[in-house]
Amino acid sequence: NDTATTEIYTQAFVGSVRCVQETGIIMKPVKGDIPIHTEGFWDMNAKVYHSLSEPYSAIAGFQLALQTKVDKAKTVLETACGSGCNSFQMVQLLKPGSTLCCSDFSQEMLKYMSSRYAVSDFCKNPNNSFELVPECIGQINPADKEILGKRVRAFKADNQNLPFINESFDAYISALSLHLVPSPTTMLSEAYRVLKKGGMAGFAVPGIEKESTYFTFFQNKVAKYAEEYKVELPKSRSMFYLGEDEAGLVKMIKDSGFTKVKLTHQTAILPLTTEEFMSEKKPRIEKIMKLFPEGCEKKFREELESEVEKTFVIGNELITVNILSVSYTHLTLPTKAQVQISVVAVSL
């Protein structure tokens, strides 16, 4: 009944069609749910992400910054920048006179990013500046004097339709976003388009599911409940579908024109308290419990909280996320150039 809601569900429909076309998997949402690949979802969850979830994404992002040698770059792009945790640490690596452009399609995320820089000492340095560009008109050239050397610029933009001219960045980074977008091939193509010849790109996606207790502990609990109450859970694309098919991921990257691919796994340990774990999972609990009989949610919360306390706080297990980092080079060679696994990526 209003423009904003209509736009959210239009995005959801278009995204779901792309997902079916590429994977054959129908992303069936829970009634009343806003799909994860939409701006509305991240606007709604920006506060929780900013306060609890972003650090493990920043761990992956900083690793990508090192792998793509942003310290040598003049122009760097980070897409799906969230509330700016990774950009804030990555900008310290940049050489004088270089510029970090960040983009995210969530306006709420970008507001948190602006606040992060506003309360820091970053802009007290006369050589530093931060600017949020809420609306992009036309194609942007990072080499323009209004942007180049201005340190950090944030743009509201979709990873699958970037507002930058061709071959405009020396390095491109996106941590834990490729597996979420409806069309990862479109996102890869856009990364290739805006990256200069010889430039380096880096992505991070969830890696090995069994080594990611942050996700599997909750999922397994929900699955047991569904079996107990004979509830059919909606089928959806696994967040590990890219990370656990390394050959398929490499082929997808190769088909986009990149080569010299390096895959590395790292496990991030999340020192969450029981309260923080439950707070982060609150939106998902509220969503999934709509499928269960009335009164189940309270019991589920109590059992989950007790099990988290026993397993991770009192017990010896760790809350972990296994992350697969992927870095590769934009070549001047044809797209059929050989892909090399586990070789340090270098610009040609």
Residue 298 has pLDDT above 80, yes or no: yes
Q: Per residue in 169-199, pLDDT tens? A: 999 999 999 999 999 999 999 999 999 999 9
Q: Per residue in 101-135, pLDDT tens? A: 999 999 999 999 999 999 888 888 888 889 998 77
Residue 92 has pLDDT above 80, yes or no: yes
Give CA–CA dist 27/183, Å, rounded. 13
- Enumerate the β-bridge partners of residue 325: 204, 264
List, edge to edge, every strand of the sheet that includes 320-330: 130-133, 151-156, 99-104, 75-79, 169-175, 195-206, 320-330, 258-269
Give CA–CA dist 8/109, Å, rounded. 16
- For the chain, what percent of residues have pLDDT higher than 90? 48
Contacts of 89 (CB under 8 A, 6+ apart): 58, 62
> Could you give the 3-state DSSP secondary structure of residue 129?
coil
Q: Per residue in 245-259, pLDDT tens? A: 999 999 999 899 998
Give CA–CA dist 279/226, Å, rounded. 22
Identity of the residue numbered 38: T
Identify which of 322, 61, 334 has the alpha carbon closest to the alpha carbon of residue 171: 61
Geometric angle at alpha carbon 134, from 77 and 36, rounded to 5° = 70
Predicted local distance difference test score (pLDDT) of residue 28: 41
pTM value > 0.75? yes
pLDDT-derived band at 15, boundaries 50, 70, 90:
very low
Residue 17 has pLDDT above 90, yes or no: no
Tokens of 127: 């050589």
